[in-house]
């Protein structure tokens, strides 16, 4: 059975147009998690600030608006509370990571099930399973690895600054270049494989380890097309970000005509539009990966050329030997 040659890039956007519920579902689970995360972060900071004790002397120093006195008052207010604040934020970060793993597992499983069913080349496609547990494990590992890579980059940056203040330029440059560079490189590479693995877990019904191995094999076989898709969608993302960056500051021109509250509201709307467009571009890229994976599993058969062999007169139908 032969399959027509098509463009995974175009198929990714066609999937969004063909199934309007896909963008709606993607935006729903992403924005619900975002609102919950911001809400929890704001509440935790508010509770911490509410627990601080400010004396009358601190109020007097804050009211002077003198930089030296302000620094002294702030140090006195936060004395003994910084460790508690860091512990609370660490627990909050781990909780949000766990919450993201649950949200991403459910949302990604629903999205991939529909995309895999849409691009399936089987005449009688089988029912695609949810495979929630493997996807949850992959999402959790992806989130933890991202935190580890960011932590290593921050530690390398702080270490390079400390070494620079100690007049150790070579060690500072080494920590800055190799520490941050390697953290970024290994973080991006493993994050890529862990982000692609749920596709194969849904498509083939495999566990987390097998799905990760299949994502590595698929990336090695289709390295060229994947790089092309990454460049194309990255360019679109850059153009979209630049356009929304200009639109973000456009309401400032109306400062003399409308109130500041309306300007802030317009800028917030532009930010939401940017995030919505970025989420849709990611969904289109995911659809392109699904289409490419289907082409990889069912490669198009080369067309067979039919050679025309001239017939001899005696082999022609209706021609007798006497003729």
pLDDT (tens digit, 9 = 90+) per residue, 242-291? 999 999 998 888 878 888 888 989 999 999 999 999 999 999 999 999 99
**Rounded-to-integer distance, Cα 95 and Cα 115, Å:** 30
CB neighbour class for 101 (10 Å; exposed up to 12, middle 13-18, buried from 19) = buried
Question: At 128, is the pLDDT very low, low, confident or very high (cuts 50, 70, 90)?
Answer: low
| Cβ-based neighbours of 90, under 8 Å, separated by 6 or more | none
Once rounded to an integer, what is the mean pLDDT over residues 298-323?
53
**Rounded-to-integer distance, Cα 201 and Cα 112, Å:** 10
Question: How many CA within 13 A on the CB side of residue 41?
Answer: 11
Once rounded to an integer, what is the mean pLDDT over residues 298-304?
59
Look up residue 251 and give its two tokens. Answer: 């309401």
**Rounded-to-integer distance, Cα 128 and Cα 117, Å:** 7
Question: How many CA within 13 A on the CB side of residue 98?
Answer: 6
Is residue 43 within 8 A of residue 320, CB to CB? The reply is no
| Cβ-based neighbours of 158, under 8 Å, separated by 6 or more | none
Summarised one tens digit per residue, pLDDT across range 24-51 is 988 999 999 999 999 999 998 888 888 7
**Rounded-to-integer distance, Cα 68 and Cα 73, Å:** 9
Q: What DSSP element (H or E) covers 196?
A: helix 180-204
CB neighbour class for 322 (10 Å; exposed up to 12, middle 13-18, buried from 19) = exposed
- For residue 166, the 8-state DSSP code is T
């Amino acid at each position: 059975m032969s399959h027509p040659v098509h463009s995974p890039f175009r198929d990714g956007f066609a999937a969004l147009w063909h199934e309007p519920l896909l963008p709606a579902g993607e935006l729903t689970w992403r924005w619900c998690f975002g609102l919950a995360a911001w809400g929890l972060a704001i509440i935790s900071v508010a509770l911490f600030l509410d627990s601080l004790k400010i004396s009358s002397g601190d109020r007097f120093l804050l009211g002077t608006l003198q930089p030296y006195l302000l620094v002294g008052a702030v140090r006195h207010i936060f004395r003994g509370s910084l460790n508690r604040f860091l512990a609370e934020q660490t627990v909050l970060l781990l909780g949000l990571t766990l919450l993201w793993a649950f949200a991403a597992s459910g949302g990604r499983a629903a999205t991939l099930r529909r995309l895999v069913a849409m691009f399936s080349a089987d005449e009688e496609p089988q029912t695609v399973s949810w495979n929630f547990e493997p996807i949850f494990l992959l999402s959790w590992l992806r989130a933890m690895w991202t935190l580890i890579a960011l932590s290593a980059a921050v530690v390398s940056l702080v270490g390079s600054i400390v070494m620079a203040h100690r007049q150790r330029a070579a060690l500072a440059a080494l920590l800055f270049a190799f520490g941050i560079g390697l953290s970024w490189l290994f973080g991006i590479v493993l994050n890529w494989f862990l982000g692609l693995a749920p596709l194969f877990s849904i498509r083939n019904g495999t566990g987390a380890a097998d799905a990760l191995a299949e994502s590595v094999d698929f990336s090695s076989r289709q390295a060229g097309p994947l790089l092309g898709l990454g460049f194309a969608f990255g360019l679109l993302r850059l153009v979209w970000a630049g356009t929304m960056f200009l639109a973000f500051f456009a309401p400032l021109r109306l400062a003399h005509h409308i109130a500041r509250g309306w300007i802030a509201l317009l800028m917030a709307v532009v930010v939401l539009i940017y995030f919505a467009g970025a989420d849709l571009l990611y969904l289109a890229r995911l659809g392109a990966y699904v289409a490419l994976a289907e082409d990889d599993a069912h490669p198009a058969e080369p067309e067979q050329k039919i050679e025309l062999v001239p017939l001899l007169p005696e082999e022609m139908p209706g021609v007798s030997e006497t003729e």
